[in-house]
């Protein structure tokens, strides 16, 4: 079974507001060995990941032809594709190497298909957080001072404060990632260190 890579583990540490130092730093700073447990126990499904080259040009019912359907069955939830093209669907029927599903996105080329598992869930959350980081960087160009006499910023009632919405969504995804990995307390601890004037007793 596949597990998280060390690079993905570093990304998890960063997203839950923890330091990214390795265990060899243990004598010097508070390092949490829980990440080794996460790495070894956030695993893929026993059904191997496969691929499809079926071109999906519109949302709706679709039949995906897989390179291999070993371990796949009706009623399973599967992840189709990766990153922002990723979607989770339920297999309505299977025949040979063909899966019947309902897709909301388009897919082309050779794309990954795998049974939903702890590994796909955590990788999906990391992907969503990486995408939000990209949006966040782009949102700063939309910010600007609107009024001088009352100091009113663009955003809010004019279409929503993009940076604020991204920050709130990032917070929700970080909470979800912390819960998925069993480390919600690390997320809360990280937020405590970031809050001005706050401290944590040990």
- Tell me the pLDDT tens digit for each residue of 149-179: 665 555 555 545 777 888 899 999 999 999 9
Q: Is the pLDDT of residue 25 over 80?
A: no
Mean pLDDT of the chain: 85
- Tell me the pLDDT tens digit for each residue of 4-22: 998 999 999 999 988 777 7
* Confidence (pLDDT) at 199: 40
Higher pLDDT, 52 or 20: 52
* Residue 71, C-beta contacts closer than 8 angstroms, at least 6 positions apart: 45, 46, 47, 48, 115
Secondary structure string (H, E, C) spanning the chain: CCECCHHHHHHHHHHCCCCCCCHHHCCCCCCCCHHHHHHHHCECCCCCCEEECCCECCCEEEEEEECCCCCCCCCCEEEECCHHHCEEEECCEEECCEEEEEECCCECCCEEEEECCHHHHHHHHHHHHHHHHHHHHHHHHHCCEEECCCCEECCHHHCCCHHHHHHHHHHHHHHHHHHHHCCHHHHHHHHHHHCCCCCCCC
What mean pLDDT comes out for the span 90-110?
97
* Confidence (pLDDT) at 197: 44
């Amino acid at each position: 079974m596949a597990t998280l890579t060390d690079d993905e583990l570093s990304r998890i540490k960063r997203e839950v507001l923890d330091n990214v130092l390795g265990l060899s730093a243990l004598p010097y700073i508070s390092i949490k060995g829980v990440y080794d447990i996460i790495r070894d126990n956030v695993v893929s499904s026993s059904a191997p990941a496969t691929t499809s080259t079926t071109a999906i040009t519109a949302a709706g019912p679709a039949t995906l032809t897989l390179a291999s359907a070993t371990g796949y069955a009706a009623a399973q939830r599967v992840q189709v594709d990766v990153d922002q093209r990723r979607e989770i669907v339920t297999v309505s029927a299977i025949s040979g190497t063909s899966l019947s599903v309902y897709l909301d996105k388009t897919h082309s080329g050779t794309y990954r298909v795998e049974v939903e598992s702890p590994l796909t869930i955590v990788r999906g959350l990391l992907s969503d957080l990486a995408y939000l980081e990209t949006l966040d960087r782009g949102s700063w160009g939309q910010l600007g001072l609107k009024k001088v006499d009352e100091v009113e910023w663009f955003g809010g009632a004019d279409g929503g404060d993009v940076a604020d919405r991204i920050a709130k969504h990032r917070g929700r995804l970080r909470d979800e990632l912390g819960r998925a990995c069993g480390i919600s307390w690390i997320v809360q601890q990280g937020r405590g260190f970031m809050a001005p004037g706050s401290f944590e007793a040990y």
